[in-house]
């Protein structure tokens, strides 16, 4: 069983259990009864009076109940005199976040990803998912991960934080596909995590599901196959509601050693909320859940995400637009004489090859446009990664590039 790959000292760890609090007077978490908002003075006063009243200075029991309701976040008609003076969003800020909205968000995400809630762990961005996975499986100084350069830099970052070794198995330089033979040669018994990225950042290409499935099968009981799908929505370029097919989430019921990372930071446009998901077989998700601390998600973040996802039909249009702009931009970029190659992309960025990479990025920066050049990385010295923006941003980019003078 792949669950046996969990660090032995973490097996059976129990997470901090939070109890449902709705409708109860919260005197169990050492919270403040007051909220420091701009309206603080307005809100503090009646609440403070209750405290004084409790000490015998007189307040009607109805008023007292109203205030207690306000304190507990209940929104009855009776609480209005107190509640209306405060921005509704701020009413719960003195309390640790309630679990219920978080469960609702997990449920909503599970529906979006076509999985069951027990197959999904909410994280603060896919980044935190990577961190948790590394912490759960990698024994410091003993275990290792395998990554496929050019790869997303955070895999090596979190592995090093966990004092794990990083085995590099470079992608083929022809088409950035996985070198499966080399992978088998480089794999070692303590290599517990195989970190795939599809579409890959920065190269933009997908790994097909057959390859992922065959790796899961081959490394069953030996390694967890992690598929980072931060950009997968853009690969479904004929995006429709039933297009979870290019996602490896469709394989989680077939393999017990597969974990998939998703995020709301890219196609869903919510990078500032820092929300991601780890999706996988229930025992692995349960093991991950057991090492997550409580109260890590801000109640405002959860509330905002729930509101946005309630009607997520806009995502289809957003993705379709980015895909259309990506294709237009690729065509335009190919017309520049100094561009050697514009690679195919299934993500919301374009990866291109040019000996002028450094000068182009400096020129663009002078024009207040930032693109990604990997200065000092020998694998990527002649590459640029350019995010697909909206029409105006893309036009600004092309305009600046038209005045670029290559130093041949
Ligand atoms: C491949 C990949 N994975 C994960 C992340 C992190 O995503 P999040 O914002 O959800 O932490 C990024 C961010 O750029 C990324 O490129």
pLDDT 10s digits, 50-106: 433 343 333 344 444 444 444 444 444 433 333 333 344 556 788 999 889 999 999
H helix or E strand, kind and range, residue 105: helix 99-112
Lowest mean pLDDT among 50-59, 95-104, 273-282, 320-329: 50-59
Q: What is the mean pLDDT of the chain?
A: 87
Q: Is 262 left (phi over 0), alpha (psi -120 to 50) or beta?
A: beta
Contacts of 255 (CB under 8 A, 6+ apart): 213, 216, 217, 220, 225, 281
Q: Residue 14: what pLDDT?
A: 79
For residues 168-172, give the mean pLDDT.
98
Helix (H) or strand (E) holding 33: none
Whether residue 199 is predicted with pLDDT greater than 60 in this model: the reply is: yes
Cα–Cα–Cα angle for 208, 212, 217, nearest 5°? 145
- Residue 188 alpha carbon to ligand 1 centre in Å: 27
- CATH code, 95-310: 3.40.640.10
Query: Cα–Cα distance between 279 and 276 in angstroms, integer?
Result: 10
Q: Tell me if 133 sits within 8 A of 280, measured CB to CB.
A: no
User: Residue whose CA is closest, atom 13 of ligand 1?
Assistant: 230
264 C-beta closer than 6 A to ligand 1? no
Which atom of ligand 1 sits closest to the CA of residue 152? Answer: 1
pLDDT at position 60, please?
A: 45
Q: Spell out the residues 6+ positions from residue 314 whose beta carbon is closer than 8 angstroms to its own.
A: none
pLDDT at 106: 98
Q: Where are the alpha helices (DSSP H) in 293-403?
A: 299-310, 314-334, 357-366, 391-402
Mutating to test ligand 1, I would choose from 122, 125, 226, 345 the residue with most ligand atoms within 8 A of its C-beta, which is 125
> Does ligand 1 have an atom closer than 6 angstroms to the CB of 280?
no
Considering the entire predicted model, what is its pTM? 0.87
Residues of the chain with CATH 3.90.1150.10: 62-70+313-403
Q: b/e for 221-235, b at 16 or more Cβ within 10 A? A: ebbbbbbbbbbbbbb
The gap from C-alpha 253 to its chain's centroid, in whole angstroms, comes to 22
- Compute the distance between CA of residue 358 and CA of residue 278 in angstroms, rounded to an integer: 36
| Tally of helices (H runs) and strands (E runs) in the chain | 13, 11
| DSSP classification of residue 57 | I
Confidence at 227, pLDDT banded by 50, 70, 90: very high
* % residues pLDDT > 90 (the chain): 72
CA-276 nearest atom, ligand 1? 10
Distance 126 CA to ligand 1 centre (A): 6
Q: Which residues of 56-76 are buried (b: 16+ CB within 10 A; e: fewer)?
A: eeebeeebeebbebbbbbbee
The count of residues in the chain is 408
Write out the E strands in 171-241: 191-197, 224-228
Asked if 236 and 246 touch (Cβ cutoff 8 Å), the reply is: yes
Reply yes or no on whether the pLDDT at 108 is more than 60: yes
| CB contact set of 391 (below 8 Å; sequence gap of 6+) | 325
What are the C-alpha distances in Å from 329 to residues 121, 181, 203, 259? 36, 35, 16, 33
213 three-class SS? helix
What is the whole-number distance in angstroms between the Cα of residue 154 and the centre of ligand 1?
A: 8
Candidate from 151, 171, 266, 374 with most ligand 1 atoms within 8 A of CB, to mutate: 266
Q: In this predicted model, what pLDDT tens digit does every residue of 110-126 receive, in sequence order?
A: 999 999 999 999 999 99
62-70+313-403 CATH fold = 3.90.1150
Closest ligand 1 atom to residue 275 Cα is 10
Of residues 335, 116, 214, 253, the one with CA closest to residue 196 = 214
Q: Is 164 left (phi over 0), alpha (psi -120 to 50) or beta?
A: beta
Which atom of ligand 1 lies nearest, measured to the CA of 266? 9
| Confidence (pLDDT) at 39 | 54
């Amino acid at each position: 069983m792949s669950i046996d790959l969990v660090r032995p000292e973490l097996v059976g760890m129990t997470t901090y259990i939070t109890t449902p609090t709705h409708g109860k007077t919260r005197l169990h978490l050492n919270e403040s009864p007051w909220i420091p908002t701009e309206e603080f003075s307005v809100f503090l006063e009646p609440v403070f009076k209750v405290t004084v009243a409790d000490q015998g200075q007189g307040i009607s029991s109805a008023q007292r109940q109203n205030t207690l309701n306000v304190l507990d976040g209940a929104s009855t008609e009776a609480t209005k005199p107190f509640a209306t003076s405060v921005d509704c969003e701020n009413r719960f800020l003195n309390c640790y976040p309630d679990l219920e909205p978080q469960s609702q968000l997990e449920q909503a995400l599970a529906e979006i990803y076509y999985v069951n809630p027990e197959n999904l762990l909410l994280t603060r961005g896919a980044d935190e998912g990577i961190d948790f996975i590394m912490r759960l499986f990698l024994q410091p100084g003993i275990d290792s991960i395998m990554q496929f350069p050019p790869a997303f830099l955070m895999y090596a970052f979190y592995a090093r934080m966990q004092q794990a070794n990083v085995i590099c198995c470079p992608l083929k330089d022809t088409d950035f596909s996985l070198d499966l033979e080399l992978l088998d040669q480089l794999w070692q018994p303590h290599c517990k995590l195989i970190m795939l990225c599809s579409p890959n950042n920065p190269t933009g290409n997908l790994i097909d599901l057959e390859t992922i499935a065959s790796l899961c099968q081959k490394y069953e009981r030996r390694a967890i196959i992690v598929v980072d799908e931060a950009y997968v929505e853009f690969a479904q370029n004929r995006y429709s509601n039933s297009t979870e097919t290019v996602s490896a989430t469709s394989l989680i019921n077939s393999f017990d050693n597969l974990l998939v990372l998703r995020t709301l930071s890219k196609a869903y446009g919510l990078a500032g909320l820092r929300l991601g998901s780890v999706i996988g077989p229930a025992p692995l998700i349960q093991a991950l859940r057991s090492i997550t601390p409580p109260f890590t998600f801000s109640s405002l973040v959860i509330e905002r995400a729930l509101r946005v996802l309630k009607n997520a039909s806009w995502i289809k249009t957003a993705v379709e637009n980015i895909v259309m702009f990506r294709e237009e931009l690729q065509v335009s970029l190919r017309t520049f004489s100094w561009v050697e190659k514009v690679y195919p992309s299934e993500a919301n960025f374009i990866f291109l090859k040019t000996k002028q990479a450094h000068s182009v990025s400096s020129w663009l920066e002078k024009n207040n446009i930032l693109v990604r050049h990997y200065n000092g990385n020998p694998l990527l010295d002649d590459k640029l990664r350019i995010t697909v923006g909206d029409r105006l941003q893309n036009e600004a980019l092309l305009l600046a590039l038209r005045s670029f003078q290559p130093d041949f």
